[in-house]
């Protein structure tokens, strides 16, 4: 009996992990919009859905995308931090730069 329960828990954890990889195009676009609400954030490149593909709808179909978020703004609130550190399984990244780096580069 205990082994059966253990197998069910393993299966549930596996399914939860798989579902975290299923990020739709709409979800990615929503995430971009939320990031863009952070002061100083801007779209570095991409941000558009792919056209003419046969990728299943459960997966995101986006151009490679990067959103710049100032490190200072990311650290201002738990909400900004959570948004900027949310992992998206796809061609998506959040680019950070601190004020000191801006002065040097």
Per residue in 14-57, pLDDT (tens digit) is 555 555 556 889 999 999 999 999 999 999 999 999 999 998 88
Q: Does domain 23-104 have CATH number 1.20.120.80?
A: no
Q: How far apart are CA 46 and CA 92, in angstroms?
A: 9
Mean pLDDT along residues 60-67: 92
Domain boundaries, the chain: 23-104
Please tell me the least confidently modeled range out of 5-9, 48-52, 95-99.
Answer: 5-9
Distance in Å from the first CA to the final CA of the chain: 62
Q: What is the DSSP letter of 100?
A: H
Q: How many CB atoms lie within 10 A of CB 91?
A: 15
What is the pLDDT averaged over residues 87-99?
80
Q: Are 69 and 40 in contact (CB under 8 A)?
A: yes
């Amino acid at each position: 009996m205990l082994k059966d329960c253990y197998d069910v828990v393993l299966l549930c954890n596996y399914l939860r992990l798989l579902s975290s990889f299923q990020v739709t195009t709409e979800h990615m676009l929503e995430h971009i919009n939320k990031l863009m609400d952070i002061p100083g954030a801007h779209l570095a490149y991409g941000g558009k859905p792919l056209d003419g593909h046969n990728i299943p709808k459960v997966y995101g179909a986006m151009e490679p995308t990067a959103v710049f978020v100032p490190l200072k703004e990311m650290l201002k609130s738990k909400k900004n931090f959570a948004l900027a550190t949310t992992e998206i399984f796809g061609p998506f990244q959040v680019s950070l730069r601190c004020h000191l780096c801006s002065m040097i580069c």
